[in-house]
């Protein structure tokens, strides 16, 4: 890292994107490799993550040791398939069709995806959150309060959690990583239950 003209180290941020379970594993492997080569991602002045990046970012900010990531908790059972055929694959197909429609305003696309997510069979939000507790290791927001991004399923508006609203870290991480038909939305927004 280069020094600034006044002799101090410049501020830097770590921004981590999505990718599902494979993306989470890739990000954590990258972090482990960076640490082995002398760069600790936890030293970032700001950590921002969405979905898989929210999981990895929270683990990094919470100081989880890389060897703790080798034996992840068992994956919960996949959600069941509804009688109308809206299983995980068909639900995600609908989501990608909405997101890929160039005629839709981005806010309207996010609202439609929110409705799809609310209607889909999914792993219970609390079960998904327990898995996030196993991975992250704490409900407390670490020093520097990492930022966790998500979307309000009702309004389609982007959300950024930083712990200032009183939500536990694992609840924000669970909401950010709750893909439609995989896991239910886990964090009420401004006191409203999900989907209200």
pLDDT digits (tens, 9 = 90+) for 68-112: 666 655 655 555 444 444 477 888 899 999 999 999 999 999 999
Model confidence over 46-75: pLDDT tens digits? 999 999 999 999 999 998 876 666 665 565
Strands 147-151 and 158-161: antiparallel
> d(Cα 58, Cα 172) in Å, to the nearest integer?
10
Using an 8 Å Cβ cutoff, are 194 and 184 in contact?
Answer: yes
Q: How many whole angstroms separate alpha carbon 96 and alpha carbon 91?
A: 9
Tell me the mean pLDDT in the region 7-31. 85
Cβ partners under 8 Å of residue 14, min gap 6: 41, 44, 46, 47, 48, 57, 60
The confidence score (pLDDT) of residue 179 equals 86
The H or E element that residue 176 is part of is: helix 169-176
In contact, 19 and 51? CB cutoff 8 Å: yes
Task: Judge contact between 91 and 181, C-beta under 8 A.
Answer: yes
CA distance from start to end of the chain:
47
Rounded to two decimals, the pTM is: 0.83
Residue 33, helix vs strand vs coil: helix
Pair of tokens at residue 145: 């309060």
d(C-alpha 30, C-alpha 38), whole Å? 12
β-strand partners of 48: 15, 147
Average pLDDT over the chain, rounded to an integer:
82
What pLDDT sits at residue 56? 93
Distances from the Cα of 23 to the Cα of 18, 34, 54, 95, 177, angstroms: 6, 16, 11, 19, 11
**What length does the chain have?**
196
Nearest 5 degrees, angle CA 95-CA 160-CA 11?
A: 125
Residue 195 in this model has a pLDDT that exceeds 80: no
């Amino acid at each position: 890292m280069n020094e600034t003209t006044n002799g101090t180290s410049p501020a830097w941020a770590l921004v981590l994107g999505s990718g599902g379970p494979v993306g989470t594993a890739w990000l954590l492997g990258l972090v482990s490799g960076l640490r082995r080569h002398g760069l600790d991602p936890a030293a970032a002045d700001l950590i921002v993550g969405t979905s898989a990046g929210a999981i990895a970012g929270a683990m990094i900010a919470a100081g989880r040791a890389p060897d703790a990531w080798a034996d992840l908790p068992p994956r919960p059972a996949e959600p069941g398939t509804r009688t109308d055929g809206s299983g995980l694959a068909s639900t995600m197909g609908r989501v990608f069709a909405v997101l890929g429609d160039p005629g839709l305003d981005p806010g309207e696309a996010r609202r439609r995806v929110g409705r799809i997510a609310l209607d889909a069979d999914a792993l219970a939000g609390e079960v998904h959150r327990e898995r996030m507790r196993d991975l992250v290791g704490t409900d407390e927001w670490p020093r520097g309060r990492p930022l966790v991004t998500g979307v309000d399923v009702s309004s389609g508006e982007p959300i950024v959690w930083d712990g200032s609203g009183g939500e536990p870290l694992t609840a924000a991480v669970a909401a950010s990583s709750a893909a439609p038909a995989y896991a239910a939305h886990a964090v009420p927004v401004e006191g409203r239950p999900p989907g209200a």
